[in-house]
Amino acid sequence: MAGSTAPSLAAAAESLWSVVAPGWPGFSVEILPEIDSTNTELMRRARAGRTEPVLLVTERQTAGRGRMGRAWTSAPGDSLTFSIGVPLSPAGWAGLSLAVGVTLAEALEGYCGGVSAAPHIARTHIALKWPNDLWLRGAEPARKLSGILVETAGAATPDAPRYLVVGIGINLQAPPAQGLSTPPAGLRELVPGAQAGAVLHAVLPPLMDALRTFEQQGFGPWHERFAARDALHGQRVCLSDGREGEARGVNLQGELLVHTEAGLQVVNSAEVSVRPQGAAGSTGA
């Protein structure tokens, strides 16, 4: 749904609650006009002992955060910014942000109907740049459409679930490109009237289902689906620690495999950032 028929954020939130709550007892939906960062807020609450399942959406973040200490900037009305907080007990956390990325890309493609409305983009395809960026493909160069920030807060006792916070920023309108080597993308290139409420409605239920599936089965169900969207596969890449090589997909832990002069290296997302060789800077918002 897009344009004037799209549900407002408030209407979407209400119907989302009734879809999600049966699978997540105690689930609540909160929409705030402004906050520093939805991730920061849910992490604050978790540290204060509030660990119930929640969706926190805001129209404006004053201190949005990206991975590796970067800022995430977004303009009200031109982006969808939200965080999901849930207590979760997976056997391990490896690959979670990739599973979220695949699920988000599939849901966004579903929202776009798989058909591009923009004449210069031949085919809607949302690729994943390891570990957690969504890139819009079809018109080269690929440009960043969305980013994911996964954080966890410790449990009160060793046996209790940790509290997971998954923060997602989606550009509806492409933000200004200043300072970036590649301009970012916006969903309205594909769906001109795309509104936050309709997009949230399309992506939240599959994301909540994905978290449950991940808890039970880990990254396995997403491994091949990630490979089908892997933007780095076969590309020369530079790692922020100086290593260079050719990206060779990810293993079952969601770690990036890079063939370097020293052989096949396994790269963990907590350690380094990675960019395709030749890209001078971040493609993020």
Using CB under 6 A, which of the segments 44-52, 79-87, 153-161, 172-180 binds ligand BTN?
A: 79-87
Residues 57, 30 contacting (CB under 8 angstroms): yes
> How many angstroms separate the CA atoms of 47 and 192, rounded?
40
Number of Cβ within 10 Å of residue 151's Cβ equals: 17
CB nearer to ligand BTN: give 113 or 281: 281
Q: What's the CA gap between 238 and 89, in Å, rounded?
A: 34
Q: Is 70 in the site for ligand BTN (CB under 6 A)?
A: yes
**Should residue 131 be labelled a site residue for ligand BTN when binding is judged by CB under 6 A?**
no
- 107: closest CA among 192, 283, 229? 229
Angle between helices 220-227 and 196-217 (to 10 degrees): 130
- 97 makes contact with ligand BTN (CB under 6 A): no
Which residue, 102, 143, 50, 94, is CA-closest to 227? Answer: 102
Chosen residue from 7, 53, 64, 101 binding ligand BTN by CB under 6 A: 64
CB of residue 82 vs ligand BTN: minimum separation in angstroms? 6
Tokens 């832990």 correspond to 253
* Angle formed at CA 90 by CA 13 and CA 256, multiple of 5 degrees: 95
What is the smallest separation between the CB atom of 29 and ligand BTN, expressed in angstroms?
Answer: 15
Contact status: 135 vs ligand BTN (CB under 6 A): no
Among 7, 12, 13, 38, binds ligand BTN (CB under 6 A): 38
| Cβ atoms < 10 Å from Cβ of 270 | 8
Shortest Å distance, C-beta 166 to ligand BTN:
9
One-letter amino acid for residue 18 of the chain: S
Asked if 168 and 81 touch (Cβ cutoff 8 Å), the reply is yes
Nearest to 134 by CA among 250, 206, 258, 143: 143
Does residue 66 touch ligand BTN according to CB under 6 A?
A: yes
Cβ neighbourhood burial of 121 (10 Å; 0-12, 13-18, 19+) = middle
Nearest to 39 by CA among 169, 196, 173: 169
- State which of residues 61, 97, 171, 195 lies at the interface with ligand BTN (CB under 6 A): 61
The nearer residue to ligand BTN, 59 or 133, going by C-beta atoms, is 133
Total of residues contacting ligand BTN (CB under 6 A): 21
Check: CB of residue 122 under 8 Å from CB of residue 115: no
Instruction: Write down the least CB distance from residue 81 to ligand BTN, Å.
Output: 4
Residue owning tokens 């780095």:
232
Give the range of 17-25, 166-174, 222-230, 254-262 binding ligand BTN by CB under 6 A.
166-174
Q: Does 148 bind ligand BTN (CB under 6 A)?
A: yes
Is 169 an interacting residue with respect to ligand BTN (CB under 6 A)?
Answer: yes
Q: Is 182 in the site for ligand BTN (CB under 6 A)?
A: no
Closest separation between CB of residue 50 and ligand BTN, Å?
Answer: 17
Residue 43 Cβ vs ligand BTN, minimum distance, rounded to whole Å: 10
- Of 71 and 266, nearer to ligand BTN (C-beta) is 71
Q: Of 116 and 282, which has the nearer Cβ to ligand BTN? A: 282
Q: Which residues bind ligand BTN (CB under 6 A)?
A: 37-39, 61, 64-67, 70, 72, 81-83, 133, 147-149, 167-169, 284
